[in-house]
Structure 1
Amino acid sequence: MAVTFTDLYTEAGLKSLEAYLSGKTYISGDQLTKDDIKVYAAVLEKPASSFPNVSKWYDCVSSQLAKSFPGKAAGVRVSNQAAPAAAPKAAAEDDDDLDLFGDETEEDKKAAEEIQAAKKPSAKKKESGKSSVLLDVKPWDDETDMKKLEEAVRSIEMEGLFWGASKLVPVGYGIKKLQIMLTIVDDLVSVDTLIEERLTVEPCDEWIQSCDIVAFNKI
């Protein structure tokens, strides 16, 4: 993406995006791309009517995500206080190549190599599908140690689960959420099970209040 947008939770940041979207439907043209999903994930809620271009773009992206994840346009909320939601459906084939964090990291390369190595012994078997997931992990409050929260997340090890890039995103009132990528082997890992039985129970629930599936794409 030629233009980088920052501080989209502030009025100044939204003004920059508002000016850029003048005369445009999406960030990079007339179709939804990974650039739109990156920016969409950084916008905390639908902008006010004082930002008509951003508001229209936000609705378009939400609509496209709703087609990929029926009934769950902005993600699926699962917390250790509410009943678990249904698993999201896989994204449409047109979104299969979306790389939500951009450049591939060393961890991503290592994860891909490990997946390839695991497939070699059973080459005659039908290949298992893989999915890329963007997950929001929210702390209890502004006093939660986010470093320990991320350590707790990454400490979870499962066959077919590979943690990727992460970043902290401001939510408001001094609170930040952890946004993290993960790659899963579909036959081995259920994201719902990962959230319900590992991320939102002891010992992780000392730091983690809830988890949201922001995007779920077949790769």
Structure 2
Amino acid sequence: MGLIRESLIIMVLGVVVVMSDEVFDKYYEPFWGFDHLSVTDQGKEVQILIDATSGAGFKSKQEYCSGIFRMQIKISEKLTGGIVTSFYLISSNKNEPKHDEIDFEFIGTKGKFQTNVFVNDPGHREELVNLWFNPSAAFHTYEINWNPQQILFKVDNKTVRTFIYPPNYISRPLHVEGTVWNGSWAGAVDWSKAPFTSSYRGFYIQGTPCNK
């Protein structure tokens, strides 16, 4: 998930975001840092806190082989290097040397996040995006539209990256994760500002389960 190269995309138009009423436990469940994750607003919002002891994460209950995966995110107002707020699709064993992954990652720098694609390898397909709004001021919608020909990365329904690939390029089933964690590649954390809290809403999935 390291930051290797930059391809800057600058947008100038604002978008009004429509909030979703999807509840967290329809598609998702916590899977680590349980005491640093809270479900609020009658199940419609998840807040993830990270401090020097832990971050947290949640994952989808199912795996998919294509689909539209959408999340509304508001990152911590207290910014520092090293804190990564993420929304991504990943194959089951992320610790394997070879895996598949499709990323949205905020990297602790105001107004910027990176996208990345891993396909049976360590990745190195990063693109850094300059946002046209402050992602800590309000919720905005981030979408991964994954089909057999391409991946569209969207922000507030605007495509910020198109990744085209040959058939069967991504071969593994993927599940969805939302995590806030300490990534050393993203810089050193200023823990004097801790805790950092990011919020997630709009837990929308229109995915195609894989054939067993």
In terms of fraction of residues, the more helix-rich structure is 1
The reply to whether TM is greater than 0.5 is no
Larger Rg: 1
In terms of fraction of residues, the more strand-rich structure is 2
Q: Which has the higher contact order (CA 8 A, sep 6+)?
A: 2
